[in-house]
Amino acid sequence: MMLADKECFIMHIGWIFVLCFSFPRYSVATSKCYNANGDAEADWAVVYKAPAQNIGKALIAGPAPVAWRNTPVLTQFNNNHAVYKPLEHVIAANQDNKFIAYNNIPPDVPKVKTKSNSKGVLMMNPGAQDEASWIVHTIPGFPKALTGYVFPPAEIQKGHLFICLTIKKSEIDAIAMALRIATPLIYHNDIPDDPARPNLKKLVNGESRLTPPLTVTRQISTAAAAGLKVTIYSKSEKSKYEIYRRVLVKKLKTSIKVWTTRDKILKSDCRILNRNIKLIASPISVNDHASSLDSDVSQWLISDPGNKFCAIDKPYHKSQTKEPAMAVCIDDAAIFDHFNRIGQNVENCA
């Protein structure tokens, strides 16, 4: 009798192993930002990859002091880093993550004509109460929708910025309104329609705002109780505005220090008291990773004074007066402090 019971027990154990390993395990959708190791959700993340570096420098929401941390960016690295993990169910399908991906140079689509320079992903879990995020970045041809994680090899030698903001679903339509002004090139969309998101529907249908208002300001917050305060500034191509002087200096009501390539027309400008445009001198150091304007394609600024850090989708070139543009400005002392150190040296300004 005992032998029969033992055989029955062994048989049950065997069936447990068969059931466990014969059926696919459920994968929880990722619709939020993650920390530098990709093993915990985060309210926000800012990743700066310097030129020719395989490792990015990341600022992650968390207890003070917020400091730069290393995070891989080029490979999946066991699915654990601050760039891969939020994109886990952008690069692979999951019914619980729906998203819009936009890029002026979309993956595997050559020679697309657009005046936009915006790049990003807006995603949400349609079955959850509040799971969503917005990613703003500078990487052409990235990410590939539903086809695996590939960091474009040609971009390894360049400097890039990747910002992830965990948001509530209620913020999606405000973001969509700002994007409508910036007219991004959308290459993937499967977010379901919802009457609560009329601007999102108009965005994906190509109903861009080319009539007044020619500029739009929208304020959002990240999802945490004490989350980041974020302001989005967009201007249409019809406005003819130069976004740095006519929009950002005017709205921020401060001087600014700018890191971006510059043409031979727009210069440093210190003619107006407390409304200066100072150009950050090249090269810079991102937590001991060197970067220069020759190879860094990010565009960002810091207010002077103040706690504002802004990522802009257009460089400080005269040509952008005839093009749409958008800036995402974050009001946070820790982020500001780190970028203020990076941009401490500026060119002569008259």
Count the neighbouring beta carbons within 10 Å of the beta carbon of residue 276: 18
**CA dist., res. 294 & res. 282, Å (int):** 9
Tell me if 18 is assigned to some domain. Answer: no
**CA dist., res. 290 & res. 296, Å (int):** 10
pLDDT given at position 330: 99
Tell me if 171 is assigned to some domain. Answer: yes
Q: Which mean pLDDT values do the consecutive 10-residue runs of the chain (350 residues) have?
A: 42 36 49 93 98 96 95 74 94 95 94 94 93 98 94 96 98 97 96 94 82 88 97 95 97 98 94 97 98 98 97 97 97 98 95
Tell me if 254 is assigned to some domain. Answer: yes
**CA dist., res. 173 & res. 175, Å (int):** 5
Tell me if 310 is assigned to some domain. Answer: yes
Instruction: Identify whether the C-beta of residue 256 lies closer than 8 Å to the C-beta of residue 301.
Output: yes
**Among all chains, which residue has been given the structure tokens 């729906």?**
98
Tell me if 179 is assigned to some domain. Answer: yes
CA 97 vs. chain centroid, Å, equals 17
Q: CA Rg, the chain, in Å?
A: 22
Task: Give the Cα-Cα-Cα angle 277, 280, 285 (nearest 5 degrees).
Answer: 155
Where in the sequence is the domain holding 242, given as residue range(s)? 33-342
Q: How many domains does the chain have?
A: 1
Instruction: Identify whether the C-beta of residue 124 lies closer than 8 Å to the C-beta of residue 172.
Output: yes
Tell me if 96 is assigned to some domain. Answer: yes
Tell me if 92 is assigned to some domain. Answer: yes
Amino acid at 103: N
Tell me if 276 is assigned to some domain. Answer: yes
pLDDT given at position 23: 35
pLDDT given at position 139: 98
